[in-house]
Amino acid sequence: MSVLSVRHLNKRFGGNVAVEDLSFDLEAGELLALIGPNGAGKSTTFNMIGGQLSADSGSVALHGMELLGKSPYRIAQSGVGRTFQITATFSSLTVRENVQAAMLAGRRRIFGFWEPACGQYTDEALDLLGQVGMRDQAARPCSELAYGDVKRVELAMSLASSPRLLLMDEPTAGMAPAERHALLALVKKLVAQRNMAVLFTEHSMDVVFTYADRVAVLARGRLIAEGEPGYVRNHPMAREVYFGSGATFQDMPDGTGAP
């Protein structure tokens, strides 16, 4: 059974169609890149899978279990990790506490009032920080970190409850090219180790074709091409909307409306 199966997903914002009849599958150990021009519906799709947005119709199943209609924290607890386009961490906690908080939440141990949190899952948190290369900064406040390091902490937090599916919304936005490759190489390694599934959006084609196992192209809310990177690279419709004939952009000057 697929880790994630999306079926006939739809979302409108007023009169604007953000996502229309979207269906795809994602297997364990696979990195699927969701690409498309601005306003294609990538973030909307992410937010529906993660529970931040409600869908109009369709189905999103994790190992056969329906996710639509669940609140984000339930979805997280059922094994979906996620990172955000604009990084979100707990800035007043230390790096280690950030990961510990995520671990406590994922294991439903948040309503503890007596045992100090700093002694819970300490080794696991440090181990995970080691995996993303942040172990030596574990005691620093998250607010003091460099941008790329915050991204790594966020990755560690999203992995804290050993998710089966990881959603990464533009994981490399705002990073230098060398950092981008380092981050995606790290993700690729973690995917292999943990046999998890990763769905990510990305604007850097270089990154997409280097690391994705499969690529899905969205345009105006519809899936127009899906397959191996080599196949998509040569797909005529994908080339048309994405790789620069420019026709689509001229047709819809306000095509950047949806988030």
Partner 1 sequence: MNLGSLFIQAINGLAEASSLFLVAAGLSLIFGVTRIVNFAHGSLYMLGIYGAYSLVQWWGGSPWGFWLSLPLAALLVALLGLIVEIALLRRIYKAPEIFQLLATFALVLIFNDAALWLWGPDDLMGPLAPGLSGSVQVLGRHVPQYDLMLVALGPIVLLALWLLLTRTRWGVMIRAATQDREMLGALGVNQAWLFSSVFALGAFLAGLGGAMQLARQPANLMLDLSIIGDVFVVVVVGGMGSIPGAYLAALIVAELKALCIALGVVQWGGMTVAFPKLTLVVEFLFMAVVLVFRPWGLLGKPMSAQRHMGLRDQPFHAASPALRWSAGLLLAALLALPWLSEHFPYAMVLAQDMLIAVVFAVSLHILLGLGGMLSFGHAAYFGIGAYAVAMLAKLAGWSMGATLLAAPLIAGAAACLFGWFCIRLSGVYLAMLTLAFAQIVWSVVYQWDAVTGGSNGLFGVWPSSWLAGDGYYYFVLAVAVAVVLMVRRMVFAPFGLALRAVRDSALRAEAVGMPVKRIQWLAFVLAGVLAGVAGAIYVYAKGSTSPEVITVAKSVDALVMVLLGGMQTLTGPIVGAVGFVGLQDYFVGATDYWRGLFGLVILALVLLFPRGIAGYFQQRVSRSTYS
* Residues in contact with partner 1 by the rule CB under 8 A: 50-52, 71-74, 76-77, 81-82, 84, 88-94, 97-98, 100-102, 104-106, 108-118, 120, 141, 143, 154, 157-158, 160-161
The least distance separating partner 1 from the CB of residue 191, rounded to whole angstroms, comes to 19
Judged on CB neighbours under 10 Å (0-12, 13-18, 19+), 135 is middle
The least distance separating partner 1 from the CB of residue 103, rounded to whole angstroms, comes to 8
Residue with smaller CB distance to partner 1, 45 or 94: 94
Token reading at 219: 């345009």
15, amino acid identity: G
The least distance separating partner 1 from the CB of residue 247, rounded to whole angstroms, comes to 33
6, amino acid identity: V
Please say whether the beta carbons of 11 and 56 come within 8 A: yes
Residue with smaller CB distance to partner 1, 76 or 207: 76
Q: How far apart are CA 226 and CA 205, in angstroms?
A: 15
Residue with smaller CB distance to partner 1, 102 or 232: 102
3-class secondary-structure state, position 198: strand
Identify which of 189, 193, 203 has the alpha carbon closest to the alpha carbon of residue 85.
203
The least distance separating partner 1 from the CB of residue 112, rounded to whole angstroms, comes to 4
Residue with smaller CB distance to partner 1, 150 or 216: 150
The least distance separating partner 1 from the CB of residue 113, rounded to whole angstroms, comes to 5
The least distance separating partner 1 from the CB of residue 150, rounded to whole angstroms, comes to 11
Residue with smaller CB distance to partner 1, 111 or 253: 111
DSSP state, 180?
Answer: H
Give me the helices (H) in 143-255, please.
147-158, 177-194, 205-211, 229-233, 236-242, 247-251
Q: How far apart are CA 171 and CA 20, in angstroms?
A: 24
Residue with smaller CB distance to partner 1, 117 or 173: 117
Q: How far apart are CA 210 and CA 205, in angstroms?
A: 8
Q: How far apart are CA 7 and CA 28, in angstroms?
A: 18
